[in-house]
Structure 1
Amino acid sequence: MSDEVLTIKEVAEYLKVNERTIYRLAASGELPGFRVGNAWRFKKSDLEEWISSQAAQSKGTGNGNN
């Protein structure tokens, strides 16, 4: 696993979403991250685990229609 630390912009590019989405997910505690002063930082290994857990949840919930 990698101990590489990513910025908001790098995470947004990695996940192919808008930076605002990363801010929202991090602030709500849904995305694993930590703050260094006013800036968010994310361990790549934590993001990889989070992605795996999101994929597992998606498979477990069917099509998502309630």
Structure 2
Amino acid sequence: MDDEILTVAQAAAYLKVSDKTVLKWIKNDKLVASLVGRIYRIKLSDINDYLAANSNGKKGVKSK
């Protein structure tokens, strides 16, 4: 479900990067997030949009 809301730690685990990397992407306006109190929340759909926007456009490894 794309309406799922993730914490920075959950988003980092999903993307297999560090929390600091996710925070850097948010602060550099590369990844959309909402500040709830003092904690960022990220929609799974926004993470998937980020991945699509930063894709190299290849469909994957072709079998020979």
TM-score range, shorter-chain basis?
A: 0.7 to 0.9
Q: Which residue of structure 2 aligns with residue 3 of structure 1?
A: 3
| TM-score normalised by the chain length of structure 1 | 0.78
Structure 1 gap ranges (5+): 60-66
* Aligned-residue CA RMSD (Å): 1.1
Which secondary structure state, in structure 1, belongs to the residue aligned with residue 2 of structure 2?
coil
Local SS of the residue matching 2:42: strand
Identity rate, percent: 32
**Comparing 25-34 with 5-14, which one deviates more in the overlay?**
25-34
Bigger proportion of residues as helix: 1
User: What is the SS of the residue equivalent to 2:45?
Assistant: helix
Deviation (angstroms), 1:53? 0.9
CA contact (8 A) 2:8 2:23 kept: yes
Unaligned 5+ runs, structure 2: 58-64
Structural mapping, 1:1-66, within 5 Å: 2-55=2-55, 58-59=56-57
Aligned length: 57
> What is the Cα deviation at residue 2 of structure 1?
1.4
The letter of the residue matching 2:17 is V
